[in-house]
Amino acid sequence: MASSSAAPAGHGLFHQGRTLSMMLTFACTAECSQCSTLSSPRNRDHLPAADALRAIDEAAELGFLNVVFTGGEATLRWDDLLTCIGRASGHGLRTRLVTNAHWALTPEAAETALDRLLDAGLDEINFSTGDEHARFVPLPRVAQAAAATARRGLTAHVMVELRQEREVTAARLLAEPAIQELEPEARALVRPSESPWMPVKPFKVERYPDGVASRREDLPKLAGCDSVLQTYTVQPNGRVAACCGLAMRLVPELNVGEVAGEHTLRTAIDEAEDDLLKLWLRAAGPEAILAWASDRDPEIAWEGMYGHRCQACLRLYKDPKVRAAIVDGYEEEIPAVVQAAWLKDRYVPSRLSELFGTTNDPTHPASLTPPEASATTEAEIADS
């Protein structure tokens, strides 16, 4: 084997297509039950603009692909938001805002806000709604914002909370007058999708439609976690999480650094990639690890409990039996985990790039990550 020095610090094992998720504030106009980021109108924590800008600058240096502004409700830090979008855009990073659309009080207000965001350099906008959000931001307001987005030729991704019993659905959003009044071409740009609304307790079981909660037979269909080690989330308290962050405030292991003072995004990445469990989550996903743990300890029951994989991840970190199984048996999984990581994040992207001219840029026609898939992670539904 040829000798070679280690990769430079901060370069990382997985250096293609990272996302910087920026939580400018934990404040939110909504106070949803089971908000997984623990955001609320009463939480006024916010990230100093200087820290946010420094993180954006460093993300650009490290070759990040895009910046997602989420929260809390990022638009509550309106001036900082526009400044940060401008800075990211100036670096050539794609930008996305996840919002609950509280600002779309009237069609005119929606148009004005959108124009200012787009003028600042915003590339994509996603909306969050559902029974919880709609208690604080009425559905017609979301429809107004989505319609204004579509009229500007942008796709309006709308994530709708999914539970067994619910009033707000994707179909109901599409039936809103603001959407119905759109020309067909613009209406086609309003794309709602439903995503499980998760409890932020590891053993609380939410009721979902049939087939949503994972079972062992679903494992072949489930991917590894595409968020961990790919998305780095800067929180209002300056901490950096190694994923898009649902329940990250409840899982200290997911917090890998800070952006304040001498701390950098680079050191946070190094810290995250030093943890084999995060590599394992990336390669296999939390459900597969729970299944593996239950093979070792039959008392670990998990099937049919988790519709949202971030809750399965929360279980993995909080259940002493699962933790014990992992510590006891992870070594035998190392070769498979490492190979899967290499295949997924290094070899196959480069190989496909050579063969087909593909790229990790989701806007590229031959992208490895289609825009639909990259537009909004499941996790982002609960962020605003």
**Which C-beta is closer to other proteins: that of 171 or that of 343?**
343
What distances in angstroms separate CA 297 from CA 69, 277, 293, one per listed residue? 40, 18, 6
Q: Dig out the tokens for 98 from the structure.
A: 């996840």
Whether 130 contacts 102, CB under 8 Å: no
Question: Does 348 contact other proteins by CB under 8 A?
Answer: yes
Write out the binding residues for other proteins, residues 5-34 only, by CB under 8 A. Answer: 5-7, 13
Q: How far is the CB of 352 from other proteins (least distance, A)?
A: 7
Pairing of strands 255-258, 239-241: antiparallel
Backbone angles phi, psi at 162, to 5 degrees: -120, 120
**Which C-beta is closer to other proteins: that of 203 or that of 356?**
356
Question: Does 280 contact other proteins by CB under 8 A?
Answer: yes
Question: Does 354 contact other proteins by CB under 8 A?
Answer: no
Backbone angles phi, psi at 118, to 5 degrees: -70, -40
In the sheet with 239-241, reading across from the earlier edge strand, the strands are 190-196, 156-162, 124-129, 94-99, 66-70, 19-23, 231-234, 239-241, 255-258
Question: Does 366 contact other proteins by CB under 8 A?
Answer: no
Is 192 strand, coil or helix?
strand
* Dist CA 374 CA 367 (whole Å): 10
Among 115, 223, 301, 357, binds other proteins (CB under 8 A): 223
Question: Does 306 contact other proteins by CB under 8 A?
Answer: no
**Which C-beta is closer to other proteins: that of 175 or that of 336?**
336
Q: How far is the CB of 215 from other proteins (least distance, A)?
A: 14
Within 10 angstroms of residue 29's Cβ, the number of other Cβ atoms is 20
Question: Does 301 contact other proteins by CB under 8 A?
Answer: no
* Dist CA 281 CA 319 (whole Å): 16
Q: How far is the CB of 8 from other proteins (least distance, A)?
A: 9
Question: Does 351 contact other proteins by CB under 8 A?
Answer: yes
Closest by Cα among 50, 85, 51 to 67: 85
Whether 356 contacts 102, CB under 8 Å: no
Q: How far is the CB of 380 from other proteins (least distance, A)?
A: 17
Write out the binding residues for other proteins, residues 94-123 only, by CB under 8 A. Answer: none
Question: Does 232 contact other proteins by CB under 8 A?
Answer: no
Question: Does 193 contact other proteins by CB under 8 A?
Answer: no
Q: How far is the CB of 160 from other proteins (least distance, A)?
A: 20
Is 258 strand, coil or helix?
strand
Binding site for other proteins (CB under 8 A): 1-2, 4-7, 13, 219-224, 226, 252-253, 273-277, 280, 285, 295-296, 317, 320, 323-324, 326-327, 330-332, 334-336, 338-340, 342-344, 346-348, 350-352, 355-356, 367-370, 373
